[in-house]
A and B are shown apart, each in its own frame.
Chain A
């Protein structure tokens, strides 16, 4: 598979009255054409901020992309001028956000909101855009689509709104769909429907998908590869099977332990990870997970491990369980 997106050393911070929050600290990963990449981590681990940073959608100020590269089809997204990055948003990369209840403009008809990116990027006439909006609503499975174009968001249920969001993100047939916890705010049955819908659309439209979640379970049947983030850094990345079978980071182990199982092997309480994620206001020199880690050794408190290869496609940033060898992604950075 050809490489579509290449992110290197992405670093984003926020200047707040309390100090500088180091939200994303040197994140590097690749995305191949048609691939589905899962990004997993708890709240505040930098999943969303790193994805928003790619398209420079974080508010600046207070946010600032300190350094890094995001090569998309040979162009560095982080260095494009304002007009060029606007042309990327929506047309090459589509976004679906977490909360469908608040992510649509409450005062605007659905049809008009759907049309906006197509009017801008595809230069369709309003009539063409409306016709295509209708097709899109049918594509994402909105019942009675023809009668819903002139409805307002509040007339839709949560699941239906998320379908509208997906239709909107896909309207210009982007190369990448970034879905930021798209099912978190939905009922469990609706969650399954939305996951199935995205899988189906990916197959039909052939785009790459980045699926952000804090739920490793969702990714099992969806993602090809998984990136695990903790405290603004990638701590492990691996093909999905390998990650489940052979996790090489204590944090990943913890996430897997917190997952309920359907086969009833664990009748006891679900395991949780003791402690809290670190305060990102302070620079951390040691391994950020060390304070919560039951494997931690003296070395973990001295230097933060880099992301090192365990095997071909599997890297982990852990002195104890992790890999050895050349650090991932470092050779490409100037």
Chain B
């Protein structure tokens, strides 16, 4: 297992390196830079612009800038935000904490809801429950996040006054954004769970389990579910990526001060260090999630142990 983790960590290095390069280049390919955005239409004197670019080090050769950024990043220094003049690392940690709360809550909703819907659909296929699960899944995939978010706010905050409409606070504030964020993932996880479990349900060892006199609920939870979980874990890992992307919209709808909104603002302002640092952090999260997925495979399926030993 240690070898698996180690090899995955080694593979992560070129990935992060590539991501840093692409972000760096993309930012500079996009028209406009922090200085021109700062002055906006009110184009100042050319000397002022040049002076500011020089001050920010943007007049140096591209390669020098990149190597400089990379060298600092490796040491954990993400630079200083051009807009706020605060260290990027500190800002990222603050916003990331908020987003992490949202993402984790959303992921819990997505996994629990998705597996539950999928399990019911697979156990009672072609029944009303199966169709209901399909309907919920279709709705989850088709409804745009911002629309769903607004609808939830309208129903639960405006009409029923049950939950706050946005902002940070206690766990009440987390419910609506987490559901909004989780909706598409619930749908995908439910469909994959259903397909995977239906394959497992027809396998011989399930019949063996029933032939031992075990109850249906026990067979489903103890024998069928674990065997159908591998594909579910795979898509859950992928869904986590979509979920992070979805935070931008969700955070906007619910006025949630998170990384997504922060990054979009930074992109608008061409705040190079913030965007570079933020994307790098997200890439790091991605790599970590993939590592977790691989480790989970390993924990669930004993057959992988002996393969790794060979």
Which residue, of B205, B223, B301, has the highest number of chain A Cβ atoms within 10 A? B205
Contacts of A117 in B (CB 8 A): 212-214
Interface digits, B111-135 against A, CB 8 Å rule (1 contact, 0 not)? 0000000000000001000000000
Interface digits, B195-230 against A, CB 8 Å rule (1 contact, 0 not)? 000000011110111111111000000110011000
**Of the residues A95, A103, A154, A169, contact of B205 by C-beta under 8 Å:** A103
Q: Are A102 and B214 in contact, with the CB atoms below 8 A?
A: no
Please list 30 pairs of residues, one from A and one from B, whose beta carbons are closer than 8 Å in the complex, sorted by A's number. A55-B211, A86-B213, A87-B213, A88-B213, A89-B211, A89-B213, A90-B213, A90-B214, A95-B211, A97-B207, A99-B204, A103-B204, A103-B207, A103-B208, A104-B205, A104-B208, A105-B223, A106-B227, A107-B300, A107-B301, A116-B212, A117-B214, A120-B212, A120-B214, A152-B302, A152-B303, A154-B303, A155-B306, A165-B208, A168-B208
Residue of A nearest to B229 (CB): A107
Contacts of A61 in B (CB 8 A): 126
Contacts of A89 in B (CB 8 A): 210-213
Q: Is A121 positioned at the interface, with any CB of B under 8 Å from its CB? A: yes
In A186-241, which residues have CB < 8 Å from any B CB?
A: none
Q: Are A106 and B211 in contact, with the CB atoms below 8 A?
A: no
Contacts of B205 in A (CB 8 A): 102-106
Binding site secondary structure of chain B:
helix
> Once the chains are docked, how many angstroms separate the CA of A61 from the CA of B300?
31
> Once the chains are docked, how many angstroms separate the CA of A86 from the CA of B211?
8
CB-based closest 5 A-B pairs = A90-B213, A89-B213, A95-B211, A90-B212, A102-B204
Which residue, of B203, B208, B210, B212, has the highest number of chain A Cβ atoms within 10 A? B212
Residue of A nearest to B307 (CB): A154
Q: Is A271 positioned at the interface, with any CB of B under 8 Å from its CB? A: no
Contacts of A95 in B (CB 8 A): 208, 211
Q: Are A168 and B302 in contact, with the CB atoms below 8 A?
A: no
> Once the chains are docked, how many angstroms separate the CA of A89 from the CA of B208?
10
Q: Is A91 positioned at the interface, with any CB of B under 8 Å from its CB? A: yes
Q: Are A57 and B227 in contact, with the CB atoms below 8 A?
A: no
In A88-119, which residues have CB < 8 Å from any B CB?
A: 88-91, 94-95, 97, 99, 102-108, 116-117
Contacts of A91 in B (CB 8 A): 213
> Once the chains are docked, how many angstroms separate the CA of A199 from the CA of B215?
31
Q: Are A97 and B213 in contact, with the CB atoms below 8 A?
A: no
**Of the residues A87, A90, A116, A154, contact of B302 by C-beta under 8 Å:** A154
Interface digits, A312-326 against B, CB 8 Å rule (1 contact, 0 not)? 000000000000000
Q: Are B204 and A97 in contact, with the CB atoms below 8 A?
A: yes
Say how far A30's CB is from chain B's closest CB, in angstroms.
22
Contacts of A90 in B (CB 8 A): 211-214
Interface digits, B136-160 against A, CB 8 Å rule (1 contact, 0 not)? 0000000000000000000000000
Contacts of B214 in A (CB 8 A): 86, 90, 116-117, 120
Contacts of B203 in A (CB 8 A): 102
> Once the chains are docked, how many angstroms separate the CA of A105 from the CA of B207?
10
Interface digits, B289-310 against A, CB 8 Å rule (1 contact, 0 not)? 0000000000011110010000
Residue of A nearest to B200 (CB): A105
Contacts of B202 in A (CB 8 A): 59
Contacts of A106 in B (CB 8 A): 205, 227, 301-303
Binding site for B on A (CB under 8 A): 52, 55, 57, 59, 61, 86-91, 94-95, 97, 99, 102-108, 116-117, 120-121, 152, 154-155, 165, 168-169
Contacts of A152 in B (CB 8 A): 302-303
Say how far B158's CB is from chain A's closest CB, in angstroms.
46
Residue of A nearest to B209 (CB): A105
> Once the chains are docked, how many angstroms separate the CA of A23 from the CA of B303?
37
Contacts of B227 in A (CB 8 A): 105-107
Which residue, of A57, A97, A116, A121, has the highest number of chain B Cβ atoms within 10 A? A116
Say how far A101's CB is from chain B's closest CB, in angstroms.
9
6 further contact pairs, Cβ within 8 A, besides A87-B213, A90-B214, A116-B209:
A94-B211, A95-B208, A97-B211, A99-B204, A106-B205, A107-B302
**Of the residues A57, A104, A121, A154, contact of B210 by C-beta under 8 Å:** A57
Say how far A43's CB is from chain B's closest CB, in angstroms.
16
Contacts of B210 in A (CB 8 A): 57, 89
> Once the chains are docked, how many angstroms separate the CA of A61 from the CA of B127?
11
Say how far A210's CB is from chain B's closest CB, in angstroms.
13
> Once the chains are docked, how many angstroms separate the CA of A152 from the CA of B222?
15
**Of the residues B207, B211, B306, contact of A154 by C-beta under 8 Å:** B306
Q: Are A86 and B215 in contact, with the CB atoms below 8 A?
A: yes
Which residue, of B227, B302, B303, has the highest number of chain A Cβ atoms within 10 A? B302
> Once the chains are docked, how many angstroms separate the CA of A90 from the CA of B218?
15
Contacts of A94 in B (CB 8 A): 211
In B265-310, which residues have CB < 8 Å from any A CB?
A: 300-303, 306
Contacts of A165 in B (CB 8 A): 208
Say how far A176's CB is from chain B's closest CB, in angstroms.
12
Contacts of A88 in B (CB 8 A): 213
> Once the chains are docked, how many angstroms separate the CA of A106 from the CA of B212?
16
Contacts of A168 in B (CB 8 A): 208, 212
> Once the chains are docked, how many angstroms separate the CA of A99 from the CA of B126?
29
